Amino acid sequence: MPDQQPHRKEVTKPSSQMRLLISIGLNVLITVAQVIGGIFSGSMALISDALHNFSDVIALVISYIANRLSKKEHTLTKTFGYKRAEILAAFINAATLLAIAAFLGKEAIERLIEPVEVRSNIVIWLAAFSIVMNGLSVLLIKPEAGNNLNMRSAYLHLFTDMLTSIAVLVGGIIMKYWGLYWVDSVVTILIALYLIKSSWGLMISSVKILLMFSPKELIIKDIANDLKTIEGVDCVYHVHVWQLNDDSIFFEARVIFSEDIPISSFQKKLKEMEKVLAKYGISHATLQPGYGDDSPRELINQE
């Protein structure tokens, strides 16, 4: 008897590029609404939230372009492809957030010295609208933010903007019922400080990768000592370790053997060494074999 059980349709999850495109559309909508509302209400906090949302739009566009570039094929002149495009995007996004934080801080201090009356009803409604729209964007991007600096930077933009919209909403309520208009400036300063806090770590992480620093969790001496436990390996030196992007760690070194071994034997040793390196998350290794090398054997090449 034929199987009468209905077939389940596979639910296709939206790609990271589609998630970014939807988030871009939502943030354009928020930005336009908040700029208009900020002008009519006289709220610096609402304008600051609009600027933050505008930075989100720029950040998401950069992230989208970087995401597409990172998937392009390698060529003879671009042997790594565009794998670092996303790291560069994360750096630009973090730098943008820091610049916006500085601008908002300056404007807020000036408003704090000379507070102005704010139409709180407009602030409240637009802040609530922004919370809903940014919340949707956060839910869209969050699944992709775990292991990718570029998507993490986009997620941080959206998440911090949702939090700032909550702060603007609270400020609007305080202004409406208690008439404390200086709260608008205080909320703006808090937004600026939070932007600095959230983007600084991202800036440092992306700079370290761009400058080819070794991942902080890797201790080069431990890796070299583990390699020397392989039979026949006498010395490991001139070591270089760096990250290409979020998930590719490269390792290169000179390996001196205690005996003059044939290439076939080296191939076996190479597989053993690759297994050791894999424990440290190293996916690409270039190892130069040697025997009877009298050159200085410094762990790190100082040249």
Residue 14: the pLDDT is 61
Identify whether 168 is part of a domain: yes
- Residue 5 within a domain: no
At which of 180, 210, 240 does a domain end? Answer: 210
Residue 278: pLDDT band (50, 70, 90) is very high
pLDDT at position 97 is: 82
Supply the CATH number for residue 99's domain.
1.20.1510.10
**145 in the same domain as 63:** yes
Residue-wise pLDDT for 213-247, tens only, equals 998 889 999 999 999 999 999 999 999 999 988 77
The CATH number for 226's domain is 3.30.70.1350
Please indicate, yes or no, whether residues 238 and 148 belong to a single structural domain of this protein: no
Q: Are residues 63 and 202 in the same domain?
A: yes
Residue 6 lies in a domain: no
Indicate whether 244 and 145 sit together in one domain. no
Q: What average pLDDT does the structure give for the chain? A: 85
Whether residue 59 is found in the same domain as residue 154:
yes
Q: Can you give the pTM of this predicted structure? A: 0.74
Q: pLDDT tens digit string along 93-145?
A: 889 889 888 988 888 898 888 887 888 999 999 999 999 998 998 898 888 77
Give how many domains the chain has, as a whole number: 2
The answer to whether residue 118 is domain-embedded is: yes
| CA pair distance 199, 205, nearest whole angstrom | 10
State what percent of residues in the chain have pLDDT above 70: 94
Residue 9 pLDDT grade (very low, low, confident, very high; cuts 50, 70, 90): very low
Residue 201 has pLDDT above 60, yes or no: yes
What distance in Å separates the CA atoms of residue 204 and residue 202, rounded to the nearest whole number? 5
Query: Mean pLDDT lowest for which of 5-19, 101-115, 118-132, 269-283?
Result: 5-19
Residue 237 pairs in a beta bridge with 254
Task: Show the domain range for 185.
Answer: 16-210
pLDDT by residue (tens digit) across 137-190?
889 888 877 767 777 877 887 887 888 788 889 999 999 999 888 888 898 888
Same domain, 245 and 118: no
Residues 95 and 198 in one domain: yes
Which of 7-11, 266-270, 294-298 has the highest mean predicted lDDT (pLDDT)? Answer: 266-270
Question: How many Cβ atoms sit within 10 Å of the Cβ of residue 82?
Answer: 18
Residue 299 lies in a domain: no
Boundary residue ending a domain (182, 210, 238) = 210
Q: Do residue 237 and residue 94 come from a single domain?
A: no
Please indicate, yes or no, whether residues 252 and 130 belong to a single structural domain of this protein: no
Which of 157, 179, 210 is the endpoint of a domain? 210
Please indicate, yes or no, whether residues 246 and 99 belong to a single structural domain of this protein. no
